[in-house]
Amino acid sequence: MGEHAHPTGTAWIWKIFWLLLAITAVEVALGIVKPEFLLVQFAGTSLLNLIFIGLTLVKAAYIVMYFMHLKFEETFLQWTIYLPVLILIPYLTFILIAEGAQIYAA
């Protein structure tokens, strides 16, 4: 528990920046090229879309943990913020996808 060690200097900020930039570049390149072998259907959508969503979640995690300093806050505060978001948003997504599939089939 307690406040976690906060990085000093600015090198870590630029490291995150290059990482976010690299992930965005990969996303844009994949979005323009749309490689044939990634367009296979998987879990109700294409593999490419799942890759996009995965990369987005990685980007989001870095922004929240480092830019928004959440990784260095009290453990209690971290979970106060993570839990509602991690429970409610997947739940909302799940019910709308399930409902959307029903309506499309009807």
Partner 1 sequence: MRAEYGKLMMWFFLISDALTFSGFLTAYGFMRFKFEQSWPVAEAVFTHFPGVEGDQPLLYVALMTFILIMSSVTMVLAVNAGHEKKQGAVAWWMLATIIGGAIFLGSQAWEWYHFIQGDKGAIELADTRILKVADADGHVLSFSQMVHGEAGHASNHEEEFNQSDVFAAFKANPNWKLIEPGKAGAVYEHAEAMALLGQGAEIVQGANMHRNEYGHKLFANFFFFITGFHGFHVFSGVVFNFILFYNVLLGTYERRGHYGMVEKIGLYWHFVDLVWVFVFTFFYLV
Distances (CA, A) of 96 to 77, 82, 102: 29, 21, 10
- Applying CB under 8 A, what is the total number of residues that bind partner 1? 47
The CA angle 63-67-70, to the nearest 5 degrees, is 85
* 38 lies in the binding site for partner 1 (CB under 8 A): no
Measure Cα distances from 28 to 9, 19, 51, 60, 69 in Å.
31, 14, 12, 17, 27
Q: From the list 4, 22, 35, 53, which residue makes contact with partner 1 (rule: CB under 8 A)? A: 53
Residues that bind partner 1 (CB under 8 A): 3, 10, 13-14, 16-17, 20-21, 24-25, 27-28, 31-32, 45, 49, 52-53, 55-56, 59-60, 63-64, 66-69, 73-74, 76-77, 80-81, 84-85, 88-89, 92-93, 96-97, 99-101, 103-104
